[in-house]
């Protein structure tokens, strides 16, 4: 509950920073040991001129910055924009000072990484201009050393080898830690997740509002009746895999020959399958929808791959790119359990996308906006009438098991998804 004179935030404080910066009338000062491109974008929320803005940091590697090169590059951007940057040894405070009178202070660094961390921030509402705290901040400012472009460029050029060696050692340490943690937890977690996934898929199938006219659709993996030399998942009798109806007599008709997402029990493997009235013959384990989609005002090209193993944790690997010819993009891991689709690993930039900083910032905004993220996840489950690079390769037997399968239909974020359970 908010009190009369202060606000406490146990969450990402970036939006509160933006509001504070927008309200500034005379000056914006930032005190932080660590920052990256996020801080470069923050001054864009004020009408103040660059001369009214200042960042006080600690540019010594002794500060412990693991992304030291990224911080130096962000410092260059600030200086090129005409924003004052100063260095103060042993600075560890994270403070936003507005007009010399209003502050927000807490544990959160001015970095993209910190937006996903567990942080606590206090935002006093009262005027603190006459307090010992603001006086101390002004004293720190006076003690700090002015940073110029030549100094930062010199650091980048002369410390390049040491920075690369440090990053390699740090990445090796992180990888070793993650490996030990994964090995320690793997057996128990896998057992728990397998049981949970089985239960969720069965519940999704049982609770779905949609049924075929025969109540339950059944299909069997068998040789193509026409003697085509391949196996297909063939519906029983006159059952129609494209026509479904719900308890209130509303109907859903799947596009004849379109690719729809399918969840295969009991462990939750995913694929896009080409649905016709009587059969499923083609399975797509890596799909590109074939055009850009607009999410949160940005255009993305989506592609997805579906792992064979570890599907209890993640069964969709999604890539976002600025165009199909872009040299890189952003990837993330998702899990769909028959009820909902969620991001289980927000992922990272891969390759060399165009305008990497802007692209990274746009994706971070997408991940922070619940409505935009839901819009993206709905696109991930959307059918593909004409997926790019479709190959006429009958391969149902690479996804479905031998024997009979119970097929159901469910909805998630307004999209139709097939639920398939071997018997």
235: Cβ–Cβ under 8 A, 6 or more apart, which residues? 217, 218, 219, 241, 277, 278, 279, 407
Q: What's the DSSP call for residue 36?
A: -
Dihedral of the alpha carbons of 410, 416, 314, 219, in degrees to the nearest 10 = 70
- For residues 97 and 412, give the distance between their C-alpha atoms in angstroms, rounded to a whole number: 45
Q: What residue spans of 147-251 are helical by DSSP H?
A: 149-158, 160-207
Residues in the chain: 423
Domain ranges for the chain: 6-158, 159-423
Q: What's the DSSP call for residue 113?
A: G
Contact 92, 33 (CB under 8 A): yes
Q: How far from each other are the two terminal CA atoms of the chain, in whole angstroms?
A: 53
Burial of 186 (0-12, 13-18, 19+ CB in 10 A): exposed
| Strands ordered across the beta sheet of 102-106 | 6-9, 121-124, 102-106, 95-98, 28-31, 53-57, 84-87, 145-146
CATH superfamily of 6-158: Endonuclease Chain A (3.30.870.10)
Q: Which residue's entry shows tokens 């729809």?
A: 260
pTM of the shown model = 0.52
Q: Which residue's entry shows tokens 């059952």?
A: 239
> Which of 121, 62, 66, 128 minimizes the C-alpha distance to 95?
121
Q: What is the mean pLDDT of each run of 10 residues along the chain (423 residues)?
A: 56 88 94 93 87 94 82 93 94 95 94 89 90 95 94 87 81 78 71 69 67 67 84 91 78 92 90 95 90 84 90 90 84 90 88 81 85 92 86 90 91 91 88
Q: Are strands 403-412 and 341-352 parallel, antiparallel or unpaired?
A: unpaired
* C-beta atoms surrounding 125 within 10 Å: 12
Dihedral of the alpha carbons of 144, 148, 149, 154, in degrees to the nearest 10 = -70
Helix (H) or strand (E) holding 293: strand 286-295
- For residues 255 and 276, give the distance between their C-alpha atoms in angstroms, rounded to a whole number: 8
For position 290, what pLDDT does the model report? 80
Contact 317, 343 (CB under 8 A): no
- For residues 411 and 208, give the distance between their C-alpha atoms in angstroms, rounded to a whole number: 8
């Amino acid at each position: 509950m908010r009190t009369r004179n202060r606000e406490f935030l146990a969450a990402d404080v970036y939006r509160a920073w933006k509001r504070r910066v927008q309200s500034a009338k005379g000056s914006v000062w930032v005190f932080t040991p660590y920052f990256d491109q996020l801080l470069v974008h923050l001054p864009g929320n004020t009408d103040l001129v660059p001369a009214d803005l200042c960042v006080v940091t600690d540019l010594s590697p002794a500060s412990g910055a693991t992304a030291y090169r990224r911080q130096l590059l962000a410092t260059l951007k600030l200086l090129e924009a005409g924003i004052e940057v100063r260095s103060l040894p042993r600075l560890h405070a994270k403070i936003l000072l507005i007009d010399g009178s209003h502050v927000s202070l807490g544990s959160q660094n001015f970095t993209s990484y910190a937006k996903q961390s567990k942080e606590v921030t206090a935002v006093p509402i009262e005027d603190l201009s006459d307090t010992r705290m603001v006086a101390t901040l002004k004293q720190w400012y006076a003690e700090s050393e002015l940073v110029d472009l030549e100094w930062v460029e010199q650091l980048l050029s002369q410390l390049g080898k040491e920075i690369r060696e440090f990053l390699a050692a740090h990445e090796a340490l992180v990888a070793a830690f993650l490996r030990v943690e994964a090995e320690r937890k793997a057996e128990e977690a896998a057992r728990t997740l397998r049981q949970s996934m089985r239960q969720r898929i069965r519940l999704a199938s049982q609770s779905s509002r949609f049924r075929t006219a025969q109540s339950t659709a059944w299909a069997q993996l068998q040789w193509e009746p026409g003697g085509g030399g391949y196996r297909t998942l063939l519906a029983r009798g006159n059952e129609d895999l494209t026509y479904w109806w719900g308890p209130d007599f509303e109907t859903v008709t799947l596009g004849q020959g379109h690719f729809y997402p399918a969840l295969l029990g009991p462990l939750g493997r995913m694929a896009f399958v080409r649905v016709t009235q009587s059969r499923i013959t083609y399975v797509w384990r890596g799909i590109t929808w074939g055009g850009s989609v607009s999410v949160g005002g940005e255009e993305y090209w989506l592609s997805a791959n579906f792992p064979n193993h570890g599907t209890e944790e993640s069964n969709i690997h999604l890539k976002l790119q600025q165009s199909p010819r872009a040299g890189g993009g952003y990837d993330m891991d998702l899990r769909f359990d028959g009820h909902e689709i969620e991001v289980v690993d927000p992922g990272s930039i891969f390759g060399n996308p165009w305008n990497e900083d802007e692209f990274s910032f746009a994706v971070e905004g997408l991940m922070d906006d619940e409505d935009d993220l839901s819009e993206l996840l709905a696109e991930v489950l959307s059918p593909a009438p004409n997926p790019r690079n479709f190959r006429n390769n009958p391969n149902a037997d690479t996804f479905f098991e031998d024997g009979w399968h119970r097929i159901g239909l469910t909805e998630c974020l307004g999209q139709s998804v097939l639920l398939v359970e071997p018997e």
